[in-house]
Amino acid sequence: MFIPIDYAWLEATGLAAVRTTAFLFIAPPFSFGAFPARIKAMLGIGIAVVVSGTVATPYETLGTAGFLGALVIQVITGAVLGMLVLLCFSAVQSAGSLIDVFGGFQLAQAFDPQMQVNGAQFTRLFQMTALALLFASNGYQLILAGLVRSFSAVPVDGVLDLTRPAELLIETTSQMMLSAVQIAGPLVLVLFLADVGLGLITRVAPALNAFAMGFPVKILLTFLLAGTVVLALPAVVGALAEDALGLLTGGTR
């Protein structure tokens, strides 16, 4: 019994699986630590099989050295694309970190091994909310669509030009910081004005230890006004998903 094997298809699908798996281990929401590694690997292989018809059409088999080199290149390509998406969604985490700092929650900072986040309550809350919204709003499908499009821009036997991704990494980092300030800005401003008010009270009445009641006052203000920021997160996460799609398509041009 003779079973023909298309080695070109097999190699191209394997290289595509390496890229998708490296991407899924870094890019949110798939990088969440609660998802088992074998599930991420199976998803990466499944996506590679889906795009195998696209990646295997112009592909020609490589030698051993060429194939190993292509494997390394695909790992780097997937990691770079995943890092672009990670930086894009880090704006939500940074916004929560700003609220923790100005609201007095930073003293309860702890490391969450599942989300790979080192922060206090609002940092982890915002990160978990963004993760849930990505799945609830089908934003993850936009991210996967951008990953699939990367195979058309950079074939599995091609080399990613790191010039454009490097520019996008620098631009995305600055945009991430700006987006974090925009998300948490209103609440941070209120907490800053609360600090200024407490300072003026201490200046006017030095005997009154206004800073002793500063922590409970700021915590109360944070809880009262944090709901307005949480209500804005669905629109923010939707915009970030579209930005991530643009980064994936722009980073491979």
Q: Find, among 37, 202, 190, 199, the residue nearest to 102 by Cα.
A: 190
Local structure of residue 58 (DSSP, 8 states): S
Query: Residue 26 burial (CB < 10 Å; 0-12/13-18/19+)?
Result: middle
Q: Is the dihedral of CA 53, 55, 60, 66 positive or negative?
A: negative
What confidence tens digit (pLDDT) does each residue in 156-197 have?
A: 777 777 677 777 777 777 777 777 877 887 788 888 888 787
- Strand ranges (E), the chain: 110-112, 117-119
2 occurs within a structural domain: no
139 occurs within a structural domain: yes
CA 13 to each of CA 9, 27, 159: distance values in angstroms, whole numbers, following the listed order: 6, 21, 16
Contact 252, 154 (CB under 8 A): yes
Position 24 confidence tier, pLDDT thresholds 50, 70, 90: very high
> Which range (9-23, 70-84, 108-122, 190-204) has the least confidence?
108-122
Q: Which domain holds residue 141?
A: 7-106+114-251
**Token pair of 239 as six digits:** 């915009």
Matching residue, tokens 């600090």: 195
Number of domains in the chain: 1
| Half-sphere exposure at residue 57, Cβ-oriented, CA atoms within 13 angstroms | 5
227 occurs within a structural domain: yes
DSSP assignment of 67-101, as one string?
A: HHHHHHHHHHHHHHHHHHHHHHHHHHHHHHHHHHH
1 occurs within a structural domain: no
Give the mean pLDDT of 121-129: 83
78 occurs within a structural domain: yes
| Whether the predicted pLDDT of 198 surpasses 80 | no
**Token pair of 191 as six digits:** 């907490």
CA 232 to each of CA 93, 149, 181, 190, 249: distance values in angstroms, whole numbers, following the listed order: 14, 30, 14, 17, 26
CA 12 to each of CA 57, 120, 153: distance values in angstroms, whole numbers, following the listed order: 9, 44, 15
In angstroms, the CA 49 to CA 12 distance is: 10
150 occurs within a structural domain: yes
Predicted pLDDT of residue 23: 92
30 occurs within a structural domain: yes
Predicted pLDDT of residue 21: 93
The larger pLDDT score, comparing residue 82 to residue 195, is at 82
225 occurs within a structural domain: yes
Q: Is the peptide bond before 29 cis (omega within 30 degrees of 0)?
A: yes
In angstroms, the CA 47 to CA 55 distance is: 12
